[in-house]
Structure 1
Amino acid sequence: MTQLESHNGYYLWKYIPSSAAGGIFATLFAIATIAHFYRLFSTRTWSCIPFAIGCIFELIGYAARTSAHNQTGALMPYIIQSVLLLVAPALFAASIYMTLGRIIRCVRGEKYSIIRVNWLTKIFVIGDVLSFVVQSGGAGFMVEGDNATTGQNIVVGGLFVQIIMFGLFVVTTTIFHLRMRRYPTTESYNVEAPWKSTLHMLYGVSVLIMIRSIFRVVEYVSGQNGYPLTHEWTVYIFDAVLMLMVTGAFYYWYPSKVIPAPPESAAYSLNTNSKYGEP
């Protein structure tokens, strides 16, 4: 029977990770990874590269959890799953932020954005990168028994950065949306550019990632002996399932048809047979 093992006298895991659950989600994220890379290269929507990489992180993370079932004292599987599953949503967020910029330019709604469009993507992505770096650094500290508490605090700080950026993103998106509904631009009537459904998708995935980030904050604030870190089902319900839903929604409402209008022209045109069209 598999037993919980220590690493230099420190228990990395508070339970024996389920190989079945890990295997199921590794398989599901493998499917998501293949699907998103197919979408990425067939539509050449390069702003979605971070999202596809995030799918790889999820896949490797759950594969590492699966392998940890029989080696709970091994450091490498624990590090891999801790870091990759923690930061993968930050990569999803990068593509989500860039998609809003595509939508605004697609409908020529730059004047309705509370943040100048040239800066909008930069601001959110920089905040996202900061969150990514802080969370990665904190996760690195957490694998060391003596610095586990410090690592948790750093991770919580990175998660708060992510939550704040998502909050600002939702506010920016909502204000833009309300202004567009009140004073629609000529380009917004282009029925072939599904900017409305794409915008609704952004709301949905943003809420899912926000819920997941709040869960992670609760998880780390509760400490090593808190309920979330000592019960494995919580990470699957409040992280794995939610992130799988994010990959599914983003794939279904892929932003490949939401094409930014050329800067030098106020007219928006869409060629559905172009290299940017849906497959």
Structure 2
Amino acid sequence: VKGSIYIYAPNKGAPVFFAVAFALSLAFHTWQCHRYKAWKMIGLQPLCALLFTLGYAMREWNAFNYIYVDKTTSSNVLLVYILSQVFVYIAPPLLELANYHVLGRILHYVPWLSPLRPSLITSLFGGIMLVVEILNSVGVSLSANPSATKATQNLGAILTKVAIALQLAVLLAFLALAGCFHFRCRRHSVPDKRIKTPLLTLYCSTALILIRCIYRLVEHLGQTRVDFRDQDALRRLSPLLRYEFWFYIFEATLMLLNSVLWNVFHPGRFLPAEQNVFVGRDGEETVDEVEVGDDRGVL
């Protein structure tokens, strides 16, 4: 569509559905975190649901105001568009970090079988995800601005690609770490009534985020620079950018499924709220003022 800041005429109904769906998930997550005293463990889930709600609410406004002329006459259109893109795209790395928090809590519950010291999980992966989040937010804000120069848009695209590639690498390392821990628990016949469901939920959640990351990487491997003055260049854009339904399948739907997944299998239902509750080497659950000693190797 000529002059559309989205390239196409955006769907007017889909943003409403996803804004409402994420708002309901947000309300449920908020209640669950309060009910199970799980803000520290999974408090990022309601935050991300809020970001998605805001992002899709803004996208709905843009669905009726999507014609972009220039940054002077269409400043509101541009501002809302950039904010909606940023809110939608900064949430998935935070969801990944939420998964790291859950795995850290699981490892604290059976610390002697953890491949890494449980206290290192959140700080190590959290530090990497901070870098990913900075690269991602800056990259999206630069590449999503059609009034930016070609060099600026290209820089934004490069930063986004680096962020997604790094996120994929961390996801694979995370799966390997969780799988190693799960294998050790099975080998030592550790009672898994508390950890089995959270671990399986982690695998499903990570798979959803992984598929979404692959979609984003493929999307950005093609032509991504938007130039409204060049119709031929617009036609050469990646099909994943030119057709909106891909966005709603691999971005909106997958992330909504992830949010609902943690609503249904909330880790607060299975894991103790406090880290001083853990399973000892005798297989019995123990409550202690001091966390169990860590005399394992790194791997």
Look up the match of 1:105: 108
Name the TM-score, length of structure 1 as normaliser: 0.86
Look up the match of 2:244: 232
Look up the match of 2:28: 35
Identity %: 24
User: 1:170 aligned to 2:175?
Assistant: yes
- Tell me how large the CA RMSD over aligned residues is: 1.9
The structure 1 residue matched to 2:38, chosen from 45, 63, 76, is 45
| Residue identity matched to 1:59 | T
Q: Does the 8 Å CA contact 1:50/1:95 hold for their aligned counterparts?
A: yes
Shift of 1:116: 2.0
Look up the match of 1:277: none
Q: Distance in 1 between matches of 2:167 and 2:24?
A: 27
Matching of residues 26-175 of structure 1 within 5 Å: 26-46=19-39, 47-72=41-66, 73=68, 74-106=77-109, 108=110, 110-142=111-143, 143=145, 144-146=147-149, 147-175=152-180
Q: Where does structure 2 lack aligned partners over 5 or more consecutive residues? A: 69-76, 225-236, 288-299
Q: Distance in 2 between matches of 1:50 and 1:90?
A: 10
Shift of 1:13: 1.7
Shift of 1:112: 2.5
Q: Where does structure 1 lack aligned partners over 5 or more consecutive residues? A: 6-10, 271-279
Q: Does the 8 Å CA contact 1:152/1:221 hold for their aligned counterparts?
A: no
Shift of 1:71: 1.6
Q: Does the 8 Å CA contact 2:212/2:250 hold for their aligned counterparts?
A: yes
Shift of 1:91: 1.5
Name the TM-score, length of structure 2 as normaliser: 0.81
4+ long deviations beyond 3 Å? 263-267
Q: Distance in 2 between matches of 1:26 and 1:4?
A: 27
Q: Distance in 2 between matches of 1:102 and 1:196?
A: 13
The count of aligned residue pairs is 256
| Residue identity matched to 2:182 | H
SS in 1 for 2:210: helix
Q: Return the index of the structure with the highest Cα Rg.
A: 2
Shift of 1:114: 2.3
1:97-124 per-residue CA deviation (whole Å, 9 max, x = no partner) reads 0111111222x2x233222222112111
Look up the match of 1:243: 255
SS in 1 for 2:285: coil
Q: Distance in 2 between matches of 1:24 and 1:17?
A: 14
Look up the match of 2:230: none
From the superposition, tell whether residues 52 and 112 of structure 1 become closer, same or farther in structure 2 (CA, over 3 Å).
same
167-176 vs 41-50, greater mean Cα deviation: 41-50
User: 1:24 aligned to 2:21?
Assistant: no
Look up the match of 2:205: 205
Look up the match of 2:285: 268
Q: Distance in 2 between matches of 1:269 and 1:182?
A: 21
| Residue identity matched to 2:32 | R
